[in-house]
């Protein structure tokens, strides 16, 4: 009995000593990390809330705060998300470039908040898995694959144009741009990438996928600013957490249905001998690596969910803010319309061809300037896998790096009068004078947006189609205010009127 007690006491003592040693080791490592972080410039953090209390929120006041902080710290700064999560914020071409040129993985501490939705696809994966899947998916964005999508871009644009005609004929002619553009971009991505037809443009906001994506983005944004809800077990105990899970289950079901339908269609094509042009999903289903291994069912679903998210809402944001900017500046709008009229002169159809998209330089400048000011994706997160020296200090391994594209695109050292809408910033001459990393709406480097060419053709097509047919003006009684989220939205929507143009045939 005494020996047993002695052995038991000894084991408890050893266990306690080990735990104490590990806690001490962790404490020393954390102290060292914190000391390294604090060497970077930044405002003083609260011991409990970090810098959360000084941030007004994901709204216009919060965006002004970010511009002010960029003026104070134009290259790099540090901030604390609560007491335990440090952030190193980069917002200058030199510091942004140093991160984007690497293949450092996305910041899993934060991006894991959306992982239940999009899975471990290209957006979130890292290392050998990311490199393998990037190679497998790259053929889906080859010129030969993208060019046939132009016909679908125009046919889905027809539906959008018809809706604008109805708004003019019925009621006061005003419409809320964000919701209708979002329905259009969802229609495009479903048809072009997955050959999946829905009536989402006519169903509107009641379309369950549109509603789910909107609410998922709102839930993620709210959770980001509440570190006490970052624990998954705690979050799932809340009503928001349970709603988030329900919405994730729904979008997964949509993706699985799309995949199942395509598998059946491919079987029919094989048996009949008839082959259609390959799309994104076809390539996902048939891709093989050097060892002859394809993507698993879960990997395919993750990439479908990722592409639906990244190729739908981000594009809708860029189109909507461009329409807003052009409606706000009639002289710029007229110049863009004149360019479009010249390109389409003498044609029976208003369709925009693949080659037309390369012959609209001024419209492209307007689109780029709108993406600079309004920044569809306001920030990106990376996580260091090794110590990284920057601006005379060392960022420790495992630190979250915030690439603030909003701050970068409003950095006073690069952009004079950054809130002024001026497409001339993107003339060839002016772009050549700037660091290429001063404007990176699609990110840059090895982890750049794989679908940016697809997105640019889609956006230029619908903008040209709208401007060819309509004059745009904002509702003077409606105030537009931004809402910063994973995708830049408007708190209040964007109300505008589209009036049929009086122009020569």
Instruction: Pull the structure tokens for residue 2.
Output: 């005494």
pLDDT of 153: 93
58 with 65: CB under 8 angstroms? no
The SS3 of residue 105 is coil
Question: What's the whole-model pTM score?
Answer: 0.88
Q: CB within 8 A of 457, min separation 6: which ones? A: 146, 149, 150, 153, 354, 357
| Per-position pLDDT tens, the chain of length 505 | 565 666 566 666 766 776 766 667 666 677 888 888 999 999 998 988 888 889 998 999 999 999 999 999 999 999 998 888 899 999 999 999 999 988 776 666 677 888 888 888 777 777 788 888 888 888 878 878 888 889 989 999 999 999 999 998 887 889 999 999 999 998 998 888 777 788 888 887 777 887 887 788 788 878 877 888 888 999 999 999 999 999 999 988 888 888 888 888 777 766 655 555 667 788 888 888 778 788 888 888 888 888 877 778 899 999 999 999 999 999 999 999 999 999 999 898 999 999 999 999 999 999 999 999 999 999 998 888 889 899 999 999 889 899 999 999 999 999 999 999 999 999 999 999 999 999 999 998 888 888 899 899 999 999 999 999 999 999 999 999 999 888 899 998 999 999 999 865 4
Question: Using CA of residue 255, residue 256, residue 258, residue 263, what is the dihedral sign?
Answer: positive
Q: List own/partner pairs for 204-211 with CB under 8 A and 24 or more apart.
A: 204/179, 204/180, 205/179, 207/183, 208/250, 209/250, 209/251, 209/254, 210/179, 210/182, 210/183, 210/186
Cα–Cα distance, 221 to 453 (Å, whole number): 28
Q: Is 491 helix (H, G, I), strand (E, B) or coil?
A: coil
> For the CA atoms of the chain, what is the radius of gyration?
25
Based on the number of CB atoms within 10 Å of its own CB, is 57 exposed (0-12), middle (13-18) or buried (19 or more)? middle
Within 10 A of 344 (CB to CB), how many other CB atoms are there? Answer: 18
Q: How many other C-beta atoms lie within 10 A of the C-beta of residue 319?
A: 26
| Distance from C-alpha of 81 to C-alpha of 74, rounded to nearest angstrom | 20
pLDDT in the model for residue 28: 67
Is 15 buried (19+), middle (13-18) or exposed (0-12) by CB count in 10 A? exposed
Of 262, 275, 283, the residue nearest 141 (C-alpha) = 283
Q: What angle do CA 40, 41, 45 make, to 5 degrees?
A: 95
C-alpha 345: how far from its chain's center? 36
Q: Is 89 helix (H, G, I), strand (E, B) or coil?
A: strand
Rounded Cα gap, residues 308 and 118, in angstroms: 9
- DSSP string of 415-467, one letter each residue: -TTTTS--GGGGSHHHHHHS-GGG--TT--GGGS-TTHHHHHHHHHHHHHHHH
CA distances to 82, 117, 236, 374, 390 from 229, in Å: 12, 17, 9, 29, 32
Q: What does the alpha-carbon distance between residue 402 and residue 404 come to, in Å, rounded to a whole number? A: 6
CATH class for the region spanning 50-500: mainly alpha
Task: Pull the structure tokens for residue 201.
Answer: 């443009």
Residues 6+ apart with CB under 8 A from 160: 180, 181, 184, 201, 462, 465, 466
């Amino acid at each position: 009995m005494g020996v047993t007690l002695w052995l038991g006491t000894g084991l408890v003592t050893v266990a306690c000593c080990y735990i104490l040693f590990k806690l001490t080791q962790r404490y020393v490592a954390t102290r060292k990390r914190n000391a390294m972080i604090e060497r970077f410039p930044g405002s003083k953090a609260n011991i409990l809330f970090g810098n959360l209390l000084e941030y007004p929120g994901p709204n216009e006041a919060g965006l002004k705060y970010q511009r002010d902080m960029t003026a104070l710290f134009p290259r790099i700064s540090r901030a604390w998300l609560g007491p335990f999560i440090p952030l190193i914020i980069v917002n200058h071409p030199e510091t942004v470039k140093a991160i984007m040129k690497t293949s450092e993985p996305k910041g899993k501490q934060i991006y894991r908040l959306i992982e239940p939705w999009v899975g471990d696809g290209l957006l979130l994966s890292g290392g050998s898995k990311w490199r393998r899947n990037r190679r497998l998916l790259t053929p889906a964005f080859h010129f030969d694959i993208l060019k046939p999508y132009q016909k679908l871009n125009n046919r889905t644009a027809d539906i959008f144009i018809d809706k604008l005609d109805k708004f003019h004929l019925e009621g006061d002619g005003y419409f809320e741009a964000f919701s209708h553009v979002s329905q259009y971009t969802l229609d495009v991505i479903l048809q072009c990438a997955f050959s999946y037809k829905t009536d989402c443009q006519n169903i509107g906001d009641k379309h369950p996928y549109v509603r789910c994506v909107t609410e998922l983005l709102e839930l993620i944004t709210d959770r980001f600013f509440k570190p006490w809800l970052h624990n998954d077990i705690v979050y799932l105990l809340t009503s928001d957490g349970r709603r988030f899970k329900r919405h994730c289950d729904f979008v997964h079901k949509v993706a699985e249905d799309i995949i199942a339908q395509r598998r059946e269609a491919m079987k029919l094509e094989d048996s009949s001998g008839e082959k259609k042009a390959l799309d994104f999903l076809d390539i996902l289903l048939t891709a093989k690596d050097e060892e002859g291994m394809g993507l698993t069912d879960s990997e395919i679903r993750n990439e479908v969910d990722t592409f639906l998210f990244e190729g739908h809402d981000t594009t809708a944001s860029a189109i909507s803010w461009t329409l807003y900017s052009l409606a706000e500046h009639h002289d710029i709008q007229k110049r863009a319309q004149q360019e479009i009229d010249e390109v389409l002169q003498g044609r029976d159809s208003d369709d925009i061809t693949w080659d037309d998209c390369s012959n609209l330089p001024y419209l492209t400048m307007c689109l780029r300037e709108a993406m600079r000011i309004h920044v569809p994706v306001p920030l990106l997160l990376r996580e260091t896998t090794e110590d990284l020296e920057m601006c005379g200090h060392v960022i420790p391994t495992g630190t979250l790096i915030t690439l603030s594209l909003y701050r970068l695109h409003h950095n006073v050292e690069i952009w004079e009068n950054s809130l002024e809408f001026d497409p001339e910033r993107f003339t060839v001459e002016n772009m050549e004078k700037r660091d290429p990393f001063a404007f990176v709406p699609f990110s840059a480097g090895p982890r750049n947006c794989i679908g940016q060419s697809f997105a640019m053709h889609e956006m230029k097509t619908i903008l040209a189609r709208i401007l060819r047919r309509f004059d745009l003006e904002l509702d003077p009684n409606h105030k537009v205010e931004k809402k910063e989220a994973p995708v830049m939205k408007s708190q209040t929507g964007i109300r505008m009127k589209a009036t049929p143009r009086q122009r020569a045939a």
